[in-house]
């Protein structure tokens, strides 16, 4: 006998895909995707046949993480990256007719490839837009602000330099400069003779 609490099965994929509050506790966004691994010699990618799930969440330390895990193997996260808002984004790979996307980093040449496994291929574009909005802004609430900013003001549709999106971009640039400075400082500490007093 079905009770109101259990009368409906939870939906997976379809219109609810990519939304917060899915199967991963605390996730800002999640979507079904497998991984692809690039061969360094040929630059071809080969698929990992497992069924996976990608998700982004903020931990107690306030840092945003992009994760991948096998959906059937349990709760063990196999790929976990700490990402800074605005540093990473998903982009469709144009050299294939499949549903292959690459996670690119603006601060490095690192690339991770995924193939979407969501049932509704027609909603891929909206899903990736949502994922990129969260990765770019760092939270779900910032996604709504970005949509408002894209519309512009009522008079001329222009955005001035004080909009939150512009401030986030400036913050992202500052984070990149800070990251490079930290790398240089670490290298200088490891081998002061090479770097002299350049810092």
pTM of the model: 0.60
Query: What per-residue confidence (pLDDT) applies to 162?
Result: 38
Which residue(s) pair with 10 in the sheet?
A: none
Cα–Cα distance for residue pair 51/130, rounded to 1 Å: 21
Q: Can you list the alpha helix ranges (DSSP code H) found in the chain? A: 124-137, 140-151, 164-190, 192-195
Q: Which residue has the higher pLDDT, 41 or 197?
A: 41
Average pLDDT along the chain: 73
Query: What per-residue confidence (pLDDT) applies to 125?
Result: 94
Cα–Cα distance for residue pair 27/134, rounded to 1 Å: 11
Say how many Å lie between the first and final Cα of the chain, rounded: 72
Report whether pLDDT(198) > 60: no
pLDDT digit string (tens) for 97-121?
A: 899 999 999 999 999 999 999 999 9
Reported as a pLDDT band with limits 50, 70 and 90, residue 72 is: confident
pLDDT digit string (tens) for 119-178?
A: 999 999 999 999 999 998 665 554 444 444 444 444 333 333 433 444 444 455 555 555
**For residue 154, how many other CB atoms are within 10 A of its CB?**
6
Report whether pLDDT(60) > 50: yes
Query: What per-residue confidence (pLDDT) applies to 24?
Result: 85
Cα–Cα distance for residue pair 68/56, rounded to 1 Å: 9
């Amino acid at each position: 006998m079905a009770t109101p609490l259990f009368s409906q099965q939870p939906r997976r994929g379809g219109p609810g895909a990519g939304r917060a509050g899915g199967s991963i506790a605390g996730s800002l966004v999640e979507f079904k995707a497998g991984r692809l691994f690039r061969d360094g010699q040929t630059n071809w990618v080969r698929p990992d046949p497992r069924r996976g799930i990608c998700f982004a969440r903020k931990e107690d330390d306030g840092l945003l993480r992009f994760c991948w895990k096998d959906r059937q193997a349990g709760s063990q996260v196999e790929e976990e990256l700490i990402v800074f808002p605005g540093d990473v984004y998903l982009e469709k790979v144009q050299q294939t007719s499949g549903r292959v996307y690459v996670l690119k980093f603006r601060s490095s040449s690192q690339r991770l490839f995924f193939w979407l496994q969501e049932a509704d291929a027609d909603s891929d574009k909206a899903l990736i837009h949502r994922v990129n909005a969260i990765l770019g802004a760092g939270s779900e609430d910032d996604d709504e602000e970005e949509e408002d900013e894209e519309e512009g003001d009522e008079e001329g549709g222009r955005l001035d330099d004080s909009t939150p999106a512009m401030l986030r971009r400036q913050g992202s640039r500052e984070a990149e400069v800070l990251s490079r400075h930290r790398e240089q400082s670490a290298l200088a500490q490891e081998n002061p003779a090479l770097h002299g007093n350049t810092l």
